Protein backbone atom coordinates (compact mmCIF):
# COMPACT_ATOMS: atom_id res chain seq x y z
CA UNK A 1 0.00 0.00 0.00
CA UNK A 2 1.30 3.46 -0.88
CA UNK A 3 0.95 6.29 1.60
CA UNK A 4 1.39 9.90 0.69
CA UNK A 5 2.12 12.50 3.29
CA UNK A 6 -0.24 15.47 2.93
CA UNK A 7 1.50 17.65 5.47
CA UNK A 8 5.04 18.10 6.68
CA UNK A 9 4.23 17.02 10.22
CA UNK A 10 6.01 15.14 11.86
CA UNK A 11 8.79 15.48 9.25
CA UNK A 12 11.99 17.11 10.42
CA UNK A 13 12.81 18.91 7.17
CA UNK A 14 11.21 21.70 5.22
CA UNK A 15 9.42 20.59 2.06
CA UNK A 16 8.43 22.92 -0.75
CA UNK A 17 4.72 22.89 -1.59
CA UNK A 18 5.68 22.92 -5.28
CA UNK A 19 8.20 20.07 -5.08
CA UNK A 20 5.86 17.53 -6.64
CA UNK A 21 5.06 19.90 -9.50
CA UNK A 22 8.77 20.46 -10.19
CA UNK A 23 9.41 16.71 -10.12
CA UNK A 24 6.52 16.13 -12.54
CA UNK A 25 7.87 18.88 -14.83
CA UNK A 26 11.33 17.24 -14.90
CA UNK A 27 9.79 13.87 -15.73
CA UNK A 28 7.68 15.38 -18.55
CA UNK A 29 10.79 17.10 -19.97
CA UNK A 30 12.68 13.79 -19.99
CA UNK A 31 9.73 12.07 -21.64
CA UNK A 32 9.40 14.71 -24.36
CA UNK A 33 13.16 14.60 -25.07
CA UNK A 34 12.89 10.84 -25.54
CA UNK A 35 9.98 11.15 -27.97
CA UNK A 36 10.79 14.32 -29.88
CA UNK A 37 14.53 14.60 -29.32
CA UNK A 38 16.23 17.26 -27.28
CA UNK A 39 17.54 20.63 -28.39
CA UNK A 40 21.00 19.14 -28.86
CA UNK A 41 19.85 16.23 -30.99
CA UNK A 42 21.00 17.86 -34.27
CA UNK A 43 19.41 17.25 -37.65
CA UNK A 44 17.04 14.36 -37.87
CA UNK A 45 18.12 11.38 -39.96
CA UNK A 46 16.40 10.75 -43.26
CA UNK A 47 16.30 14.36 -44.46
CA UNK A 48 17.24 13.88 -48.08
CA UNK A 49 18.43 15.57 -50.19
CA UNK A 50 20.56 18.03 -48.26
CA UNK A 51 20.21 21.46 -49.82
CA UNK A 52 21.18 25.12 -49.54
CA UNK A 53 18.98 28.04 -50.57
CA UNK A 54 20.74 31.29 -51.47
CA UNK A 55 19.78 34.45 -53.30
CA UNK A 56 21.26 37.43 -55.06
CA UNK A 57 19.62 40.53 -56.50
CA UNK A 58 17.78 38.70 -59.30
CA UNK A 59 17.65 34.97 -58.48
CA UNK A 60 17.21 32.27 -55.87
CA UNK A 61 19.54 29.28 -56.06
CA UNK A 62 19.00 25.80 -54.68
CA UNK A 63 21.97 23.46 -54.54
CA UNK A 64 21.06 19.91 -53.58
CA UNK A 65 23.34 16.94 -53.03
CA UNK A 66 21.94 13.91 -54.83
CA UNK A 67 24.50 11.08 -54.77
CA UNK A 68 23.38 7.94 -56.56
CA UNK A 69 20.35 9.58 -58.17
CA UNK A 70 19.66 9.48 -61.89
CA UNK A 71 18.78 13.05 -62.78
CA UNK A 72 16.34 12.06 -65.51
CA UNK A 73 14.21 10.32 -62.84
CA UNK A 74 13.83 13.47 -60.70
CA UNK A 75 10.54 15.33 -60.58
CA UNK A 76 11.06 19.07 -60.05
CA UNK A 77 8.10 21.45 -60.00
CA UNK A 78 7.62 25.10 -59.07
CA UNK A 79 4.49 27.10 -58.36
CA UNK A 80 4.46 30.71 -57.20
CA UNK A 81 6.77 30.61 -54.18
CA UNK A 82 7.17 26.85 -53.71
CA UNK A 83 9.70 24.37 -55.11
CA UNK A 84 9.20 20.62 -54.94
CA UNK A 85 11.86 17.97 -55.61
CA UNK A 86 10.95 14.29 -55.52
CA UNK A 87 12.42 11.05 -56.76
CA UNK A 88 13.69 7.69 -55.62
CA UNK A 89 17.08 6.68 -54.34
CA UNK A 90 17.86 3.06 -55.12
CA UNK A 91 20.44 1.24 -53.03
CA UNK A 92 21.51 -2.15 -54.37
CA UNK A 93 21.20 -4.99 -51.90
CA UNK A 94 24.25 -7.02 -50.95
CA UNK A 95 24.41 -10.45 -52.57
CA UNK A 96 24.31 -13.53 -50.39
CA UNK A 97 23.93 -13.61 -46.65
CA UNK A 98 25.58 -10.57 -45.11
CA UNK A 99 25.67 -9.22 -41.61
CA UNK A 100 25.60 -5.43 -41.35
CA UNK A 101 27.71 -3.82 -38.66
CA UNK A 102 26.60 -0.36 -39.70
CA UNK A 103 23.90 0.64 -42.16
CA UNK A 104 23.56 4.36 -42.76
CA UNK A 105 22.76 4.61 -46.46
CA UNK A 106 19.02 4.73 -46.93
CA UNK A 107 17.06 4.09 -50.08
CA UNK A 108 13.50 4.79 -51.06
CA UNK A 109 11.30 7.58 -52.29
CA UNK A 110 11.90 11.12 -51.13
CA UNK A 111 10.22 14.48 -51.47
CA UNK A 112 11.33 17.93 -50.36
CA UNK A 113 9.20 21.06 -50.53
CA UNK A 114 10.85 24.45 -50.07
CA UNK A 115 8.90 27.65 -49.50
CA UNK A 116 10.67 30.64 -51.00
CA UNK A 117 10.58 34.13 -49.47
CA UNK A 118 8.96 35.71 -52.57
CA UNK A 119 7.28 34.80 -55.85
CA UNK A 120 9.44 33.48 -58.69
CA UNK A 121 9.17 33.59 -62.47
CA UNK A 122 8.25 29.93 -63.08
CA UNK A 123 8.72 30.20 -66.87
CA UNK A 124 12.46 30.85 -66.52
CA UNK A 125 13.48 28.27 -63.90
CA UNK A 126 16.61 26.35 -64.93
CA UNK A 127 18.06 23.11 -63.48
CA UNK A 128 21.58 21.77 -64.11
CA UNK A 129 23.38 18.80 -62.67
CA UNK A 130 26.99 17.77 -62.32
CA UNK A 131 29.26 16.03 -59.81
CA UNK A 132 26.23 14.73 -57.86
CA UNK A 133 25.08 18.32 -57.28
CA UNK A 134 21.80 19.67 -58.62
CA UNK A 135 21.68 23.46 -59.09
CA UNK A 136 18.31 25.12 -59.67
CA UNK A 137 18.22 28.78 -60.66
CA UNK A 138 14.90 30.52 -60.05
CA UNK A 139 14.54 34.14 -61.24
CA UNK A 140 12.57 36.38 -58.93
CA UNK A 141 9.27 37.69 -60.26
CA UNK A 142 9.38 41.33 -61.37
CA UNK A 143 6.95 42.26 -58.59
CA UNK A 144 9.29 40.71 -56.00
CA UNK A 145 12.44 42.53 -57.12
CA UNK A 146 13.55 45.55 -55.20
CA UNK A 147 13.32 48.75 -57.19
CA UNK A 148 15.46 51.81 -56.65
CA UNK A 149 13.45 55.04 -56.61
CA UNK A 150 15.29 58.16 -57.74
CA UNK A 151 14.20 61.36 -56.02
CA UNK A 152 14.04 64.26 -58.44
CA UNK A 153 14.35 67.89 -57.46
CA UNK A 154 11.29 69.93 -58.29
Domain residues of the chain, as ranges? 51-90+107-139
Tell me the C-alpha distance between 35 and 37, whole Å: 6
pLDDT bracket for residue 20 (50, 70, 90): confident
% residues pLDDT > 70 (the chain): 81
Tell me the C-alpha distance between 17 and 56, whole Å: 58
Q: Is 80 left (phi over 0), alpha (psi -120 to 50) or beta?
A: left
pLDDT value at 119 more than 70:
yes
Q: Which CATH class is domain 51-90+107-139?
A: mainly beta
pLDDT of the residue at 41: 46
Between 104 and 4, residue with greater pLDDT: 104
Confirm whether pTM is higher than 0.85.
no
pLDDT bracket for residue 147 (50, 70, 90): confident
Tell me the C-alpha distance between 38 and 54, whole Å: 28
pLDDT tens digits along 39-94: 544 444 556 788 999 999 899 999 999 888 888 889 999 998 999 999 988 888 88
Amino acid sequence: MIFRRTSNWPAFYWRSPFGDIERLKRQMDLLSEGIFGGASSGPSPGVFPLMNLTEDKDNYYIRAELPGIKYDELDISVTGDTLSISGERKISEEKGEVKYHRREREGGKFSRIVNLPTQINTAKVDAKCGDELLTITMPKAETAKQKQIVVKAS
